[in-house]
């Protein structure tokens, strides 16, 4: 029994020692853990604050992007001039992020854009085009919705570049496809806000050191993912040499570096930093849009107005200045077109038989150079159209711009005598040769033989989009044809700009039986546009290049 008691005593002593040791450990841990816990809590708070600051930073970045897009779009769509001191002139641009799981109450970012230099500078670029340049600072502030005490302001310097749309030989808001049959030479700037597809049945030559795509650049068809048998030759910058694509395109593994080595900077796609340029939207050509609101002469359903004054034929202008009772069959649309014919020589005061320089009536070409024409009285069966005739001479020193929400048809030579800066802006552009006869429109193609024709004007018009297995006709069919042009030459000096899809003329380019045969395309950029010798009311394309940034 004693041995048992001794053993129990020893155990009690060991337990007491263990208890004391545990107690002391707790006391020591408690003493030491207080600052440690304080430190952990503090670091967690710092990490949480950093997380919230980072979220606010990214939200402010999104607000900056939104503000830049709104600013460039406002310039392109005639809402502000490209030399404002502040945008908006009062208040801020508010970017609203809708409710989400992360931010149940939503988020708002406020931005303002202020000039960093007083004037828009004129800068001549390497290819001779003169552009306007000005530096601005975009300041965007975000107050974190989860903690109003956390506010982040980002400042982004941008270099605003404004360029007239017609300073491009070709400008497309959508994918640009250029796949000509016969040999084709083209000079001047080429830009696409989408992808670019370049190929040829023979030889396509781009005499340009500015070929840009905000998407990819491809040496193939878009609709069938196939290549054509011909060559695409593109100028190598700084030299007189041309180098073939030979399959080198955005699908190539070495595209980024090899494209720059091969053409020395002529070609740049999105991976080289090319971004979309802001441009006008289709609303600008509608009856309540910018062009209709500013027209010096309007012709609506055949009524000719100069401001609020209705002009009377035989009294104010020669008889037959405007005619609205002409129809002809458009084989591409599969419809008859009810035309508003505008005789530009008569609108300038020339009656039939008048000698050059001796018009019988006052010149009623608009003082500001802008004509707006449209019609909405054709019903569902007929398609509306605006036709310009007798436009060989433009009797206005500053040139002329004709705008319509409808398809526009130019018949015969246009602006070939004492060339002026002119433009046609519309739903779609249709070119009728000097040999066109309405009476032959319903006859077979071999009864619609074209004659050599020259058109000197810039275009803004719509196209259709290529879908799988259905080519939209490409740039080579941007002006729509209705005759047998084989062996005949169509000469164009101007600019080809596509900003929207056609809303009125939507017929397939190969609807039914052959509608046309292709002309010899003698097309080129009008270099007079390089130095800002622009048609009246030429719109801007607008780019904002990001520069330095800092955080307040």
- 497 falls within a domain: yes
Comparing CA positions, the residue from 59, 63, 52, 60 lying closest to residue 150 is 52
- Same domain? For 6 and 44 the reply is yes
pLDDT digits (tens, 9 = 90+) for 411-427: 999 999 999 999 999 99
- 532 falls within a domain: no
- Same domain? For 314 and 185 the reply is no
- 98 falls within a domain: yes
198-211 mean pLDDT: 96
The DSSP secondary structure of 249-300, one letter per residue, reads STTSTTHHHHHHHHHTTSEE-GGGT--PPB---GGGGSTTSHHHHH-SEEEE
- 82 falls within a domain: yes
- 84 falls within a domain: yes
- Contact status, residue 542 vs residue 278, Cβ threshold 8 Å: yes
pLDDT digits (tens, 9 = 90+) for 479-511: 999 999 999 999 999 999 999 999 999 988 775
- 378 falls within a domain: yes
- 246 falls within a domain: yes
- 526 falls within a domain: no
pLDDT digits (tens, 9 = 90+) for 151-164: 999 999 999 999 99
What pLDDT is recorded for position 57?
94
Q: Of 247, 272, 297, which residue constitutes the final position of a domain?
A: 272
Q: What percent of the chain has pLDDT over 90?
A: 79
Q: Degrees (nearest 5) of the Cα angle 524, 420, 525?
A: 15
- Same domain? For 162 and 175 the reply is no
Which domain covers residue 481, as residue numbers?
289-518
- Same domain? For 88 and 12 the reply is yes
Looking at the predicted structure, is the pLDDT value of residue 24 above 70? no
- Same domain? For 427 and 309 the reply is yes
pLDDT band at 278 (very low <50, low <70, confident <90, very high): very high
- Same domain? For 225 and 343 the reply is no
- Give the three-class secondary structure for 75: helix
- Same domain? For 31 and 75 the reply is yes
Q: Count up the domains in the chain and report the number.
A: 3
* Pick from 34-43, 246-255, 375-384: least confident: 34-43
- Contact status, residue 179 vs residue 166, Cβ threshold 8 Å: no
Distance between CA atoms of 74 and 77, rounded to whole angstroms? 5
- Same domain? For 365 and 253 the reply is no
- Same domain? For 11 and 68 the reply is yes
- Same domain? For 162 and 174 the reply is no
- Same domain? For 318 and 202 the reply is no
- Same domain? For 336 and 253 the reply is no
């Amino acid at each position: 029994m004693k041995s048992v008691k001794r053993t129990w005593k020893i155990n009690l002593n060991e337990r007491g020692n263990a208890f004391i040791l545990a107690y002391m450990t707790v006391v020591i841990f408690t003493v030491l853990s207080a600052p440690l816990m304080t430190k952990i809590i503090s670091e967690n708070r710092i990490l949480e604050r950093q997380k919230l600051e980072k979220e606010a930073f990214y939200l402010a970045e999104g607000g900056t992007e939104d503000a830049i897009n709104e600013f460039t779009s406002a310039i392109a769509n005639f809402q502000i001039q490209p030399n404002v001191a502040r945008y908006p002139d009062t208040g801020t641009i508010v970017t609203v992020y809708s409710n989400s799981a992360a931010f149940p109450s939503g988020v708002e970012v406020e931005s303002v854009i202020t000039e960093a230099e007083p004037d828009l500078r004129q800068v001549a670029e390497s290819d001779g085009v003169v552009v306007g340049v000005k530096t601005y600072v975009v300041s965007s502030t975000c107050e974190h919705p989860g903690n109003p005490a956390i506010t982040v302001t980002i400042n982004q310097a941008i270099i605003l570049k404004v360029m007239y749309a017609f300073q491009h030989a070709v400008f497309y808001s959508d994918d640009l496809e250029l796949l000509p049959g016969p040999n084709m030479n083209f000079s001047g700037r080429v830009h696409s806000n989408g992808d670019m597809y370049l190929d040829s049945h023979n030889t396509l030559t781009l005499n340009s050191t500015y070929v840009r795509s905000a998407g990819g650049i491809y040496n193939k068809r878009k609709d069938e993912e196939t290549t054509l048998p011909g060559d695409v030759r593109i100028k190598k910058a700084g030299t007189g040499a041309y180098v073939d694509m030979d399959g080198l395109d955005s699908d190539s593994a070495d595209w980024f570096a090899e494209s720059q080595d091969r053409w020395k900077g002529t070609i740049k796609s999105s991976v080289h930093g090319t971004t979309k340029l802001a441009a006008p939207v289709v609303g600008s050509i509608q009856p309540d849009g910018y062009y209709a609101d500013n027209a010096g002469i309007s012709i609506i359903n055949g009524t000719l107005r100069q401001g609020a004054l209705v002009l009377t034929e035989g009294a104010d202008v020669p008889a037959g200045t405007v005619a609205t009772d002409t129809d002809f069959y458009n084989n591409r649309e599969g419809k008859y077109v009810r035309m508003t014919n505008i005789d530009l020589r008569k609108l300038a005061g020339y009656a039939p038989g008048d000698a050059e320089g001796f018009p019988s009536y006052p010149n009623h070409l608009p003082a500001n150079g802008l004509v707006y024409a449209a019609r909405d009285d054709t019903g569902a069966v007929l398609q509306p159209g605006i036709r310009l005739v007798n436009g060989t001479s433009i009797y206005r020193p500053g040139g002329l711009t004709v705008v319509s929400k409808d398809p526009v048809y130019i018949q015969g030579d246009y602006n070939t005598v004492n060339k002026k800066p002119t433009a046609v802006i519309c739903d779609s552009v249709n070119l009728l040769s000097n040999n066109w006869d309405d009476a032959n429109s319903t006859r077979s193609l071999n009864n619609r033989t074209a004659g050599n024709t020259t058109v000197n004007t810039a275009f803004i018009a719509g196209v259709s989009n290529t879908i799988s297995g259905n080519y939209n006709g490409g740039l080579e069919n941007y002006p729509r044809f209705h005759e047998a042009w084989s062996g005949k030459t169509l000469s164009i000096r101007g600019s080809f700009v596509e900003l929207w899809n056609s809303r009125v003329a939507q017929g397939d380019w190969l609807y039914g039986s052959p509608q046309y045969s292709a002309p010899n395309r003698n097309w080129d950029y009008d270099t007079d546009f390089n130095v800002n010798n622009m048609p009246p009311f030429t719109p801007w394309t607008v780019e904002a290049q990001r520069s330095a940034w800092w955080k307040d």
